[in-house]
């Protein structure tokens, strides 16, 4: 099991946002179509490239740079330049620009909305994307939520900044079928993302039991002990991303202690 670092970008800044709150401000009649509302845990003027350089220094691989909305291209490029082939990139990736982002230095591109649309999987787009870049350079984002009407029901993949539900369940059949089209999965537990309220244990357990591919979980980490908990529930097969809870993002968990844990697990 590995610790996977992250760099979340919003309006060109490194931020940590409560995952379920980033939406277009459609209620404000004075707002433009691209205006956004969100609950921000952390924001810094420290450039994305500084975080990428820190991850490169500590030899942390498989982390991700996520562009939340527009205005993040330059910051994402700077991170990839600081740690070439050490980071994945996601947010607005399509068949038209995937190769370009790999050329900027991303090890993989992360895709959600381009493939999961109209409530289902667009197999034509997915097949085309794999034909363009190969499955070994593609990460599918299966970030998911339960429906409010079924608090104990299945998790469904969500798109469009995690606001739009698809009918794609995160289950054994989905994981097995999609494993033929990508190199790994990234799964945010959206309801807990950024809240430091604890991990979604049943989701981690599901991923550890059924994912045929490397899988990274993110969402709700509140203490160093969650690393051991994910290792246990995920059978050592589910890696973990920590964002808002890390001290480098304004939280209480010491980044250096997480790196030390990672090194003990991955000598």
Here the tokens at position 242 are 């920590």
pTM higher than 0.85? yes
**For the chain, how many residues are written?**
267
Which residues face 90 on adjacent strands? 66, 110
Q: Please give the backbone phi and psi of residue 84, each rounded to the nearest 5 degrees, phi first.
A: -60, 135
Here the tokens at position 32 are 């433009």
pLDDT in single tens digits along all 267 residues of the chain: 999 999 999 999 998 876 555 555 433 323 333 344 457 778 889 999 999 999 999 999 999 999 999 999 999 999 999 999 999 999 999 999 999 999 999 999 999 999 999 999 999 999 999 999 999 999 999 999 999 999 899 999 999 878 899 999 999 999 999 999 999 999 999 999 888 899 999 999 999 999 999 999 999 999 999 999 999 999 999 999 999 999 999 999 999 999 999 999 999
Domains of the chain: 3-265 (3.20.20.70)
Q: What is the pLDDT of residue 241?
A: 97
Closest of 192, 248, 237, 229 to residue 1, by C-alpha: 237
Q: Is 54 exposed, middle or buried (0-12, 13-18, 19+ CB in 10 A)?
A: middle
d(CA 147, CA 127): 29
Give whole-number Cα distances, 57 to 60, 61, 82, 205, 239, in Å: 8, 11, 10, 32, 20
Sign of the Cα pseudo-torsion (49, 51, 55, 57, in order): positive
Q: What is the pLDDT of residue 37?
A: 42
């Amino acid at each position: 099991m590995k610790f996977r670092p992250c760099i979340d970008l919003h309006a060109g800044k490194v931020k940590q946002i409560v995952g379920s709150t980033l939406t277009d401000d459609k209620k404000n009649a004075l707002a433009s179509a691209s205006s956004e509302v969100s609950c921000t845990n952390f924001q810094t003027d420290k450039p994305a490239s500084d975080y990428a350089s820190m991850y490169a220094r500590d030899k942390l691989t498989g982390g991700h740079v996520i562009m939340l909305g527009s205005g993040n291209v330059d910051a994402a490029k700077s991170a990839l330049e600081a740690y070439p082939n050490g980071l994945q990139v996601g947010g607005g990736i399509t068949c038209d620009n995937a190769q370009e982002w790999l050329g900027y230095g991303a090890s993989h591109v992360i895709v959600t909305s381009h493939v999961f649309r109209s409530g289902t999987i667009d197999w034509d787009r997915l097949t085309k994307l794999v034909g363009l870049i190969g499955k070994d350079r593609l990460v599918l984002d299966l970030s998911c939520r339960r429906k409010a009407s079924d608090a104990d029901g299945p998790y469904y993949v969500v798109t469009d900044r995690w606001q739009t539900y698809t009918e794609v369940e995160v289950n054994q059949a989905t994981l097995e079928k999609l494993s033929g089209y990508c190199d790994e999965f990234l799964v945010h537990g959206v309801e807990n993302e950024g809240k430091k309220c604890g991990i979604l244990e049943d989701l981690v357990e599901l991923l550890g039991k059924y994912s045929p591919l490397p899988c990274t979980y993110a969402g709700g980490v509140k203490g160093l002990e969650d690393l051991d908990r994910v290792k246990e529930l995920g059978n050592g097969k589910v890696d973990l991303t920590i964002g808002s809870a890390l001290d480098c993002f304004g939280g209480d968990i010491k980044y250096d202690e997480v790196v030390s844990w990672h090194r003990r697990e991955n000598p």
